[in-house]
Amino acid sequence: MQQVSAEPTSGLVHGCLICGFAFASRQQWGAHAQKAHGYRKAATQYATGRTCRACGSQYANKSHLRCHLLASARCLEFLEAAGSPAMAPAAEDGHTQAPVVRGWGTSHLRDARPATCNALYDALARLTDASDQQIYDVVAQYVAPLPLLRQTVCTWRNALPVGALREAAEDVLLVAPGGLEARRGRPPGGHRTPSGSSDPPFAA
């Protein structure tokens, strides 16, 4: 990306496609995404109550359950596949140092696949004929880390038959149309990218 402030912007891989901001770290992007767009990690969304509904293990509190879901891709993927987070019955937190009470385990869970943004994947799966710009416009509607958006497009692309739509998806992965463009003033920790920048946020 071209430099537009006193801070270096080369090599930035975190950004908000909706606002057009690039960030120096995942943490800075996360703070912006939460404040501006209400973004929450999947592990936070699915950490309800104290018990993991995938493996049955009980944790001292919701925070410990969230840490478990961050570490266990298999459990988190199972919960995401089940749909909207279920409301767990009200339960008092245990002692913060209470040991984990193991549940029925993970033998019934399949191996975790590369993480994707499920909502974006569903939107892409509905496309039957689209240009690279149209595909990018769909992607840019979703708030998620750029590597996750890229992986979602890759997963969708890999499932497509050979043809124009697959070629358009490959073009998006190679050179994302438009890149990150400035739309508002720079937020704390964020860098505006100049209008017309061709730096591809999805390029590997």
Domain boundaries, the chain: 14-39+114-192, 40-112
* Angstrom distance (rounded) from CA 102 to CA 54: 12
Phi, psi of 2, rounded to the nearest 5 degrees: -75, 145
Which of these, 58, 46, 134, lies nearest to 82 by C-alpha position? 46
Burial 85-109 (b: 16+ CB within 10 A, else e): eeeeeeeeeeeeeeeeeeeeebeee
* Angstrom distance (rounded) from CA 106 to CA 193: 45
pLDDT in tens, the chain (204 residues): 333 333 433 455 788 999 988 888 899 999 999 999 999 999 999 998 899 999 999 999 999 999 999 999 999 999 988 876 666 565 667 778 889 999 999 999 988 888 899 899 999 999 999 999 999 999 999 999 998 999 999 999 999 999 999 999 999 988 643 344 333 334 445 555 443 444 445 555
Structure confidence at residue 107 (pLDDT): 93
